[in-house]
Amino acid sequence: MLPVNRMVRAFKEGRPSFGTYMRTPSEKMVEMLGFAGLDFVRIDMNAGFFNLEKLESMIRTAHAVGVTPAVRVEKNDPFQIQAALGMGALHIIIPEVGSASEVEAAVKAAKLAPIGDRHAGPSSFVGGYGSVSSKEYRDWAMENVTLSVQVEKISGVESIDEIVKVKGLDMVQSGRGTLSADYKVGSQYDPIVIDAEAKVIAAGKAAGKMTSVQYYPLKDQQQIPWIREFIKKGVSCICLGTDIDIVDVFRRLLRDLNA
């Protein structure tokens, strides 16, 4: 049976989906996050250290426990995009996007014709090695294989209205850390960065795209009300920091117990 992209399903049902970035190269961590009830895991090749064999194994584990596997590739590279999709990823995230032409290149690599140039069929892992028909696989892929871009450059914020018009783009999100460096401010929570994030999200919503933000409630519990506000505003995909943020929970616990 072809897997369902839980982010897409939640979006269609008008509710948010929740997940986290994974920087730990561990199938067991994928299992635990899946059993925690998350909708997706973002395996992070941009900030983590994963070889292709480990990446494939983590994607398969995600499918086994029913959590949607997303992959943030290291860069906007057709080989990385198509390799991750060939392994069974259902969602690709392109970092550091600054123009509509970059989005068009990613769509070309990630999407089947006539939208893109990707060649794929049911003789793959997600297609059950030919257990479904070509039409069934194609219809499924058109809905469940999705592409997101992180608008992490000033030029991207300034051209966001053109970016969201690109056919084949499914989701937009900001990247406050990289944006803060581009704006040359000291914090990802600087007002200029927060305003840029709001502009990106507003443009994505207006274009009917899925939208996503990332905050860190395990690091800072005061961010939980912020997340609730984004949910009220209709942001469709909430990334709850990273898997390694669990360290901060134990730091907080030890600090409280030793007080």
Three-state secondary structure readout of 166-184: CCCCCEEEECHHHHHHHHC
pLDDT in tens, the chain (259 residues): 799 999 999 999 999 999 999 999 999 999 999 999 999 999 999 988 889 999 999 999 999 999 999 999 999 999 999 999 999 999 999 999 999 999 999 999 999 999 999 988 888 888 888 889 999 999 999 999 999 999 999 999 999 999 999 999 999 999 999 999 999 999 999 999 999 999 999 999 999 999 999 999 999 999 999 999 999 999 999 999 999 999 999 999 999 999 8
Residue 173 located in a structural domain: yes
Residue with tokens 């199938």: 27
Tell me how long the chain is. 259
Report pLDDT digits (tens) over 7-22.
999 999 999 999 999 9
Residue 1 located in a structural domain: no
Say how many domains are in the chain. 1
Predicted model pTM: 0.96
Neighbours of 105 (CB within 10 A): 19
Sign of the dihedral defined by the CA atoms of residues 94, 97, 99, 101, in that order:
negative
Residue 144 located in a structural domain: yes
Residue 99 located in a structural domain: yes
Residue 141 located in a structural domain: yes
Residue 248 located in a structural domain: yes
How far is it, in rounded angstroms, from Cα 249 to Cα 93? 27
Residue 68 located in a structural domain: yes
Residue 222 located in a structural domain: yes
How far is it, in rounded angstroms, from Cα 159 to Cα 174? 13
Written as one letter, the residue type at 110 is A
Domain hosting residue 139, numbered range: 6-257
CATH of the domain at 37: 3.20.20.60
Written as one letter, the residue type at 61 is T
